Amino acid sequence: MPPVPRSPCPREDGRRLRADAVRNHARLLDAAAAIVREHGLKHLTMEAVATAAGVGKGTLFRRFGDRVGLLQALLQHSEDSFQAAHLGGVDQAHGRDEAVERLRAFGVAAIRRSAREVELQMAAEPSPDERYRRAPRRAYHERVSVLLALAAPEADAELLGHALLGYLEPALLWHLGDQCGLPLHRLESGWLELVSRLTQQGTVPHDAA
């Protein structure tokens, strides 16, 4: 049987196509991040990003939908890096003391990140009916609740996890820092005090009458 002739233009397999899509996605986000870093958020337009990345504007719209979608993708890219650096191994926390220290470190890191990216975070802020349903917010709540349950077993970790995250809302941190002029170290100290008060021994059980 004669050998089957090879196509002069072999079709790329799914893995290659997926890898190309990931690279293109990263290139677009890198271009957007560079514009924000060098010129500020007000200069972040779909046209500017497309030009910087060397693609057609239609490609950008197909990828992200609109400018809000681009902002959310850019923020998600930042959140992925933040989660990898500060939320890994939560389930492996050993005992109360380690859980408390992880809660403390998480909040301080989130406050410092907000100070660097508050303009981007505010621009990508979802509507109130979607704010608590977004995947990053749910991931933060799940991890904070796990740590809080380890640090204060008698507390209602699910409910108080929302209270802790409320302190880290971008709009509140922007208000306290930019509008009220509170220094970063005071915002961090407030978080540390809040964690200490919620995790101190003798917390009221959540099933108490």
47 neighbors 57 (Cβ within 8 angstroms): yes
Number of H helices, E strands in the chain: 10, 0
Q: Does any domain span residue 102?
A: yes
Token pair for 123: 């621009």
Domain with 74, as residue range(s), is 67-199
Same domain, 86 and 49: no
What's the half-sphere exposure (Cβ side, CA atoms, 13 Å) at 171? 8
pLDDT in tens, 69-110: 898 888 878 878 888 887 765 555 678 999 999 999 999 999
Domain match, 122 and 154 both:
yes
**Do 125 and 179 fall into the same domain?**
yes
- 52 and 78 assigned to the same domain: no
- Per-residue pLDDT tens over the stretch 120-141: 888 777 777 777 877 778 889 9
pLDDT mean over 169-197: 95
d(CA 113, CA 132) in angstroms, rounded, equals 19
pLDDT above 50: residue 8: no
Residues 43, 60, single domain; the answer is: yes
**Which three-class secondary structure string do you get for 31-79?**
HHHHHHHHHCHHHCCHHHHHHHHCCCHHHHHHHHCCHHHHHHHHHHHHH
